[in-house]
């Protein structure tokens, strides 16, 4: 009989909101062989990586880590956490290691800990760039030293190999830096002797936990029963079902191509997958393949663009709303007159017109009865950002329109206040670097707790 490995996936982003305990404990009662959870994402925008800050409160992270750690120790099975603390930077790994040790101390737990750094030194990447091409993906130009100069934080996205190395060395608890979502699931399966096709497909379907089931629920556990060539998924929430439709449609979630998925070292080919409903709540998938390719590791990096400030203004006069372009033109002109020697970016977000969809908005002549304008300014210093945003907002109040009736002010100030927000960051690096050794960009540490 083929060997079966059971993996419990409790959450698609550990700590983002706390995981649901009920379905997690039901999953635990199935006696899984591994508990695996991803804790990071590029979806949250470039700020957190660039500024190297968590986006999840520590209390929620600890809640999830505590449940998983205690359970994995009780069952004596390994736990694997990827992309620690949202960013997968060294800060994230260090924070999770600290929390894990706190929980261990509070509960008198003992185990072998492995933690894996994936943050990259800018100078090291600069040296690599001297020798090889670092190709941009998804519309990014190839990497240049200038782009590196503008980048604050870089992480490499690990494949399964560093985690396999940790398992080889007897790790019970693995805290990984930035990792590919499916790789943290694929690692223990490859380590158990399953093929990359099976391992990566299982990772693909399990990585977002309850998102592969219906009806839509977040933060509920699912379990994968994995045998060579076959993955069966079952939701742990009693009201969820894994159907052919929910599992198949998950393979297109958040990706460009539902048939092919690029993973470190190859491509997962799902074009001939067969989905079968084996009972009311479980779906079996077979037919996945793996195409080996040259090993390239993805780099992600974000850099600071400037300080950022916003002002909130409203308009109600239909004449003003019809001529809002003129109002903005006036405001822009007044800013340019005074700050043309400064480097700044200014954006006018017009809610009620095209605030959400911008250039993609198909409705070109809306007739809202009121609109909200958010002026956003990014400049070198907070002072400048504040001044420019304020000048731009106040000048919507003084807009000069020929037939205006309301001559006491052409805008409603929500409060005459410029709100300093988090600084502005941008994704700078979304690139692939070829490597000869899958471990070479990663630093693996072991410790007995």
Question: 102 is written with which tokens?
Answer: 């706190």
Least CB distance from residue 187 to another protein, whole Å?
A: 22
Q: Count of CB atoms within 10 A of residue 362's CB?
A: 6
Query: How crowded is residue 227: how many other Cβ atoms within 10 Å of its Cβ?
Result: 17
189 near another protein (CB under 8 A)? no
For position 378 contacting another protein by CB under 8 A, the verdict is yes
* By the rule CB under 8 A, 126 interacts with another protein: no
How far apart (Å, rounded) are the C-alpha atoms in residues 172 and 75?
A: 11
Among 257, 279, 370, 380, binds another protein (CB under 8 A): 257
Nearer to another protein, 271 or 293 (CB): 271
Q: How far is the C-alpha of 58 from the C-alpha of 53, rounded, in Å? A: 12
Closest by CA position to 233, among listed 188, 181, 185: 185
- Of 91-99, 184-192, 400-408, 422-430, the segment contacting another protein by CB under 8 A is 422-430
What residues pair up with 300 in beta bridges, in sequence order? 155, 430
Q: Using the rule CB under 8 A, is 427 a contact of another protein?
A: yes
What is the rounded CA–CA span in Å between residue 63 and residue 237? 19
Strand boundaries in 251-295, DSSP class E: 260-263, 266-269, 274-277, 283-286, 289-292
Q: Does 349 bind another protein (CB under 8 A)?
A: yes
223 close to 23: Cβ distance less than 8 angstroms: no
**In whole angstroms, what is the distance from residue 251 CA to residue 286 CA?**
13
Residue 342 lies near another protein (rule: CB under 8 A): no
Contact region for another protein (CB under 8 A) — 17-25, 107-115, 227-235, 342-350?
342-350
By the rule CB under 8 A, 368 interacts with another protein:
no
Q: Could you tell me which stretch among 84-92, 102-110, 355-363, 435-443 binds another protein (CB under 8 A)?
A: 355-363
Pick from 139, 340, 407, 408: which binds another protein (CB under 8 A)? 139
Binding segment toward another protein, per CB under 8 A, in 28-36, 180-188, 254-262, 395-403: 254-262
Q: Which is nearer to another protein, 118 or 251 (CB)?
A: 251
Residue with tokens 């969809």: 357
In the block, tokens 């099975």 appear at 77
What is the rounded CA–CA span in Å between residue 22 and residue 238?
Answer: 10
Partners of 448 in the beta sheet?
112
Residue 245: count of CB within 10 angstroms of its CB: 13
**Residue 292 lies near another protein (rule: CB under 8 A):** no
Q: Does 398 bind another protein (CB under 8 A)?
A: no
Q: Which of 110, 256, 337, 369 forms a contact with another protein (CB under 8 A)?
A: 256
The reply to whether 430 sits near another protein by the rule CB under 8 A is yes
Residue 255 interacting with another protein (CB under 8 A): yes
Q: How far is the CB of 243 from another protein (least distance, A)?
A: 9
Burial (0-12, 13-18, 19+ Cβ within 10 Å), 246: buried
> Applying CB under 8 A, does 356 fall inside the site for another protein?
yes
Which positions lie near another protein, rule CB under 8 A? 42-47, 137-140, 244-245, 248-249, 251-259, 273, 275, 305-306, 308, 345, 347, 349, 355-360, 362, 376, 378, 424-427, 430
């Amino acid at each position: 009989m083929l060997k079966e490995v059971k993996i419990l996936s409790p959450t698609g982003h550990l700590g983002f909101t706390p995981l649901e305990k009920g379905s997690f404990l039901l999953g635990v009662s199935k006696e899984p062989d591994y508990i695996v959870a991803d804790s990071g994402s590029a979806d949250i925008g470039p700020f957190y990586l660039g500024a190297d800050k968590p986006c999840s409160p520590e209390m929620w992270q600890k809640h999830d880590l505590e449940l998983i750690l205690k359970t994995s120790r009780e069952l004596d099975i390994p736990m694997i956490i990827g992309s620690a603390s949202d960013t997968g930077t060294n800060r994230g790994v260090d924070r999770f290691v600290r929390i894990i040790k706190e929980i261990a101390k509070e509960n008198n737990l003992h185990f072998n800990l492995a933690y894996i750094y994936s943050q990259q030194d800018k100078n090291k990447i600069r040296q690599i760039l001297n020798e090889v091409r670092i190709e941009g993906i998804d519309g990014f130009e190839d990497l240049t030293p200038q782009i590196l100069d503008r980048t604050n934080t870089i992480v490499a996205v690990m494949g399964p190999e560093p985690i396999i190395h940790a398992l080889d060395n007897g790790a019970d608890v693995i805290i990984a830096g930035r990792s590919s979502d499916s790789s943290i699931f694929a690692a223990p399966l490859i380590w158990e002797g399953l093929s990359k096709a099976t391992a990566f497909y299982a990772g693909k379907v399990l990585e977002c936990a309850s998102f592969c089931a219906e009806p839509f629920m977040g933060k509920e556990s699912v379990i994968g029963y994995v045998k060579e060539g076959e993955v069966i998924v079952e939701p742990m929430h009693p009201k969820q079902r894994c159907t052919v439709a929910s599992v198949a449609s998950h393979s297109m979630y958040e990706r460009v191509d539902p048939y092919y998925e690029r993973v470190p070292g190859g491509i997962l080919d799902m074009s001939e997958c067969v989905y079968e409903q084996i009972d009311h709540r479980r779906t079996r998938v077979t037919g996945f393949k793996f195409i080996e390719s040259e090993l390239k590791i993805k780099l992600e990096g974000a850099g600071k663009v400037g300080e950022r400030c916003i002002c909130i203004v409203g308009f109600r006069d239909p004449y003003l709303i019809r001529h809002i372009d003129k109002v903005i033109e006036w405001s822009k002109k007044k800013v340019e007159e005074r700050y043309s020697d400064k480097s700044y970016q200014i954006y006018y977000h017009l809610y009620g017109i095209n605030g959400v969809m911008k250039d993609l908005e198909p409705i070109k002549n809306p007739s809202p009865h009121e609109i909200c304008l958010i002026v956003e300014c990014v400049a070198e210093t907070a002072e400048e950002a504040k001044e420019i945003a304020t000048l731009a907002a106040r000048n919507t109040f003084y807009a000069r329109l020929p037939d205006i009736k309301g001559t006491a002010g052409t805008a409603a100030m929500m409060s005459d206040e410029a709100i300093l927000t988090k600084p502005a960051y941008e994704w700078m690096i979304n690139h692939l670097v070829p490597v000869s050794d899958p471990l070479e960009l990663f630093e693996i540490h072991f410790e007995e707790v």
